[in-house]
Structure 1
Amino acid sequence: MITLKNTINASLDKVWDFWSKPEHITKWAFASPDWYAPYAENDLREGGKFSTTMSAKDGSMSFDFLGEYTLVKQDQAINYVMGDGRKAVITFTETPEGVEIIESFDPETENPEEMQRGGWQAILDNFKNYVESN
């Protein structure tokens, strides 16, 4: 598994809401400024499904990131299986500095692990920036 982390200077309630509500997901779920997320749906419950469309702003590429939740513990943890069968685990922990998010996921085999780590970390950094500035 690849593991990433970041600490968000915000309340746990705000972090959880911004992580889980589609109107917020579309504002941070992309890895670089030349991409965006035009669509997101999220049924945050065990057995619920999610889908986020990630698109290049120039229209050259687009894909749907989707999966199904296997564990949801309000304000604590989210586990899911991606559409291709890979698994991901996310924990949310309050600290004196803010909410620490630790995200671990099974890498895919198409791209180098460092590239995947960089892309997912960039998305997590976008999340931090979005939450802290709104």
Structure 2
Amino acid sequence: MSKQQITIETTVAAPVERVWRAYITPADITRWNFASDDWCCPSAEADVRVGGNYKARMEAKDGSFGFDFEAVYQEVEPGKSLAFEMPDGRKVRTTFEQLDDATVVRTVFDAETQNPLEMQRDGWQSILDNFRRHVET
């Protein structure tokens, strides 16, 4: 049985080189990798190479809940795409496409089965929207 996939995207008003760098740099990741203002990402690690590990700590600012989002990079094409696999086998692929003076960032990910698809799409889209705002400011 194939997994349900969800696609999210945003257009960032910046060149692809800057967008790529902000997407893979741990110091940047901690500034955009959360879905709402009551959450934060206090730490991130990104060994951006095939077989390298990705880890981002996600926490509610009030300390009531937190978890580590972990994955292993499966594909890395600098400035073009990256893909990783999470411990439960779900896959995520993000592409970066230069479009005039902006960059389209598109992520396709395997949905999980515990939460409604709309909730997953909205959460991941909120994170991507935070990413766009981070790069553009």
* TM norm structure 1: 0.97
Structure 2: runs of 5 or more not aligned: none
For residues 62 and 129 of structure 1, the distance between their equivalents in structure 2, rounded to whole angstroms, comes to 24
1:55 alignment partner, one of 38, 55, 59: 59
Is 2:15–2:101's contact at 8 Å kept on the other side of the alignment?
no
Which residue of structure 1 lines up, in the alignment, with residue 133 of structure 2? Answer: 129
Which residue of structure 1 lines up, in the alignment, with residue 42 of structure 2? Answer: 38
Is 1:65–1:83's contact at 8 Å kept on the other side of the alignment?
no
Matched, 1:2 2:9: no
Matched, 1:29 2:33: yes
Which residue of structure 2 lines up, in the alignment, with residue 116 of structure 1? Answer: 120
Structure 1: runs of 5 or more not aligned: none
Map 1:9-24; keep pairs closer than 5 Å. Answer: 9-24=13-28
Which secondary structure state, in structure 2, belongs to the residue aligned with residue 44 of structure 1? Answer: coil
Is 1:7–1:97's contact at 8 Å kept on the other side of the alignment?
no
% identity of equivalent residues: 45
- Cα offset for 1:97? 4.8
For residues 20 and 102 of structure 2, the distance between their equivalents in structure 1, rounded to whole angstroms, comes to 12
* TM norm structure 2: 0.95
Which residue of structure 1 lines up, in the alignment, with residue 88 of structure 2? Answer: 84
Runs of 4+ in 1 over 6 A off after TM superposition: none
CA deviations on 1:87-110 (whole Å, 9 max, x unpaired) are 011110000250001100000011
Which secondary structure state, in structure 2, belongs to the residue aligned with residue 32 of structure 1? Answer: coil
Amino acid at match of 1:118: D
For residues 73 and 63 of structure 1, the distance between their equivalents in structure 2, rounded to whole angstroms, comes to 28
For residues 79 and 41 of structure 2, the distance between their equivalents in structure 1, rounded to whole angstroms, comes to 24
For residues 76 and 27 of structure 1, the distance between their equivalents in structure 2, rounded to whole angstroms, comes to 22
Is 1:43–1:50's contact at 8 Å kept on the other side of the alignment?
yes
